[in-house]
């Protein structure tokens, strides 16, 4: 009996360590997205001093968490300088921060994740984007979905994305899938809020299987979810080639393709590279 208790304790400690490593991996990646462009990168972007001054002002606003201010500055810069990768990456950071996807929230979530029995990506995003229990109201879901979509679209405008951009898109893709799934459940159940964790989503249906046939196509947004899946797959490929991103890669892979150790199917339950209504139902039901 004591051996079994000790084994369970060791297993629990290993799960906690893995969660911390995953969150710290994301924290470091997003920190690099926000701060990675130092003064040497800004040099030569434009001869116009006002351009550099405005870009620096936007970067300072990002660092301070003043995301609406940063967005206003960056949108104006983007209109005047279309196709500039630095502006678009900063703009993506600002919209993601507006949704709550920032390094401060990632750090404060570690303790909460340690207390959960599940390391799934839905739980991770729910606890980052929702309250301390992963709860979001219907209005919050809509607002955050819009911000994350804007963050994704900003990065989509980069003509030659690098590996950092691909990983950032993967993180945003997981957030978008999680929020959209929460929005679908709220629409299906007619509620005003949802707990955006695997357990919380499952509890909405009790012993009844989820059936999203009555949820309108705009809410399901399957074409964008399939695009998210592509970005997630690209991020996994990049992370698999990086020792630093190995834990994050494993978490993303389990979210995408399933976790056999927990008998949990992935969001792409039939592994065909397309997210369908059936895939979403299977994710809730299994």
Whole-model pTM: value is 0.81
Q: Which of 4-8, 145-149, 230-234 has the lowest mean pLDDT?
A: 4-8
Q: Could you give the CA distance from residue 171 to residue 181 in angstroms, rounded to a whole number?
A: 16
Beta strands in 52-192, from DSSP E residues, in sequence order: 135-137
What are the distances in angstroms from CA 227 to CA 66, 82, 161, 255, 276? 29, 23, 16, 15, 12
pLDDT digit string, tens, across residues 225-273: 999 999 999 989 988 887 655 667 788 888 899 888 877 889 998 889 9
Q: Which domain holds residue 225?
A: 2-285
pLDDT digit string, tens, across residues 155-214: 999 999 999 899 889 989 999 999 999 999 999 999 899 999 888 998 898 888 999 999
Provide the domain count of the chain. 1
Q: 236-263 burial by CB neighbour count: b if 16+ within 10 A, else e?
A: bebbeeeeebebbbbbbbbbbbbbeeee
Using the predicted structure, report yes or no on whether residue 10 has a pLDDT greater than 60: no
pLDDT digit string, tens, across residues 102-119: 755 554 444 444 444 444
Which of 29 and 257 is assigned the larger pLDDT? 257
Q: Which residues lie below 8 Å from residue 198, measured CB to CB, with a gap of 6+? A: 118, 120, 122, 123, 264
Instruction: Work out the pLDDT band at 278, boundaries 50, 70, 90.
Output: very high
The answer to whether 107 and 27 are in contact (CB under 8 A) is yes
């Amino acid at each position: 009996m004591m051996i079994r208790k000790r084994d369970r304790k060791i297993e629990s400690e290993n799960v906690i360590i893995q969660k911390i490593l995953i969150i710290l991996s994301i924290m470091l990646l997003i920190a690099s997205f926000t701060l990675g462009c130092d003064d040497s990168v800004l040099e030569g972007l434009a001869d116009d001093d006002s351009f550099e001054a405005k870009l620096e002002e936007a970067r300072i606003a990002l660092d301070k968490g003043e995301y609406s201010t940063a967005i206003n500055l960056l949108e104006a810069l983007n209109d005047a300088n279309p196709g500039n990768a630095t502006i678009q990456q900063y703009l993506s950071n600002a919209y993601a921060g507006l949704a709550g996807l920032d390094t401060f929230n990632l750090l404060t979530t570690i303790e909460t994740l340690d207390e959960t029995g599940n390391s799934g990506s839905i739980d991770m995003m729910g606890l980052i984007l929702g309250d301390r229990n992963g709860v979001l109201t219907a209005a919050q879901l809509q607002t955050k979905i819009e911000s994350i979509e804007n963050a994704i679209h900003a990065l989509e405008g980069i003509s030659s994305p690098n590996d950092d951009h691909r990983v950032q898109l993967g993180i945003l893709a997981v957030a978008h899938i999680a929020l959209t799934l929460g929005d679908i459940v709220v629409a299906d159940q007619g509620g005003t809020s949802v707990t955006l964790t695997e357990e919380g989503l499952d509890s909405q249906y009790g012993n009844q299987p989820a059936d999203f046939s009555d949820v309108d196509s705009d809410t399901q947004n399957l074409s964008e979810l399939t695009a998210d899946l592509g970005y997630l797959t690209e991020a996994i490929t990049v992370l698999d080639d990086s020792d630093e991103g190995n834990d994050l890669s494993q978490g993303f892979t389990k979210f995408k393709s399933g976790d056999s150790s927990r008998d949990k199917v992935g969001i792409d339950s039939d592994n065909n590279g397309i997210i369908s209504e059936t895939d979403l139902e299977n994710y809730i039901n299994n």
